[in-house]
Amino acid sequence: MRIAALSLSILSLAACGAADSGAPKTASGPCGNIQPILDARTEAEPFLSLRSKNRMLGDMPLPDSFEGKHAAFGKVCTMNVMNGFGGGSKVYTYSCPLFEGNSMDREGDQARAEAAFDTAAAELKACLGEGWETDEDSENMDFEVYHKFTYAPVDMPASASGFTVDPVYLELSYTPFMRGRGGASGWQVVLQAQAQVDAPAEE
C-alpha cells in the first residue's frame, strides 16, 4: 500500500526540539531548488538539516510541524513528522506550496498555476537523472482538474512495514469546492518529498 499524499494538516508526531530559526535560504544553481531537499531526504533523521523553528497555532508551538530552511522555487516550505504506520514507523515530509489560488478566479489563476507546475517539473526532469523513475497520474475523484508526477529511485528498497511513501511528488489540482483531503479550493501546486523510517525489528 502506498501513501499517495500526506496533508500538512494531519501530520502528528511529538518531535525533539527545533533547530535554529532564520529566514529560508533561496536556491542557487540549476538544481538548487530540489537538490537540498533530495540530500536532506536521505539524512539519518530525514530533513533535519532543513528544519527550523516550530510552526505556531496561535500562541502554541506545534511539536510536529516546523518551518523549512530551504525555499524551493521562491516559496516557503514546511517540514512535518507523523507516526503510527506499520507498527511504529515514522513518516517525514518536506512540503512546498508552489501556488495557492482560490475558487473565485479560475481563469485568472490557471496560467500561473500551470506555469509554476511546469517550471518545477522541468527542473525535476533535468536534475533527477536516470536513477529515478516517474509515474504520471491525471485522475482523482477529489478534484475537477488533476495532474501529478511521482518520482522514485529505481533501486528504492521495499519497506518492512508493508507500505511505501512517495519519495517526491509534484501535484497540480483544481476544485471549486473544499477538497476531499480538507485543503483549500481553487488551483493548488504542491511539491513534496517524503521519507519513512521503519521501527527497529523486534528480536
Q: What is the pLDDT of residue 164?
A: 77
Higher pLDDT among residues 82 and 150, named by residue:
150
Is it the case that residue 173 has pLDDT exceeding 60?
Answer: yes
CA angle in degrees (0–180, nearest 5) for 142-143-146? 125
Higher pLDDT among residues 196 and 83, named by residue:
196
Across residues 2-11, what is the average pLDDT?
42
Backbone angles phi, psi at 90, to 5 degrees: -110, 145
Q: Which of 49-53, 81-85, 158-162 has the lowest mean pLDDT?
A: 158-162
pLDDT interval class at 162 (50, 70, 90): low
Helix intervals (H) in the chain: 35-41, 106-128
Residues of the chain above pLDDT 70, percent: 78
Q: Which of 15-19, 153-157, 161-165, 179-183 has the lowest mean pLDDT?
A: 15-19
Q: Which of 100-109, 113-122, 176-185 has the lowest mean pLDDT?
A: 176-185
Domain boundaries, the chain: 2-16+26-197
Question: How do residues 52-108 score in pLDDT, each as one tens digit?
Answer: 999 999 999 998 999 999 999 999 999 999 887 666 788 999 999 999 987 677 888
Instruction: Report the alpha-carbon distance of residue 51 to residue 68 in Å, rounded.
Output: 5
pTM of the model: 0.83
Higher pLDDT among residues 70 and 130, named by residue:
70
Instruction: Report the alpha-carbon distance of residue 94 to residue 81 in Å, rounded.
Output: 9
Q: What is the pLDDT of residue 102?
A: 77
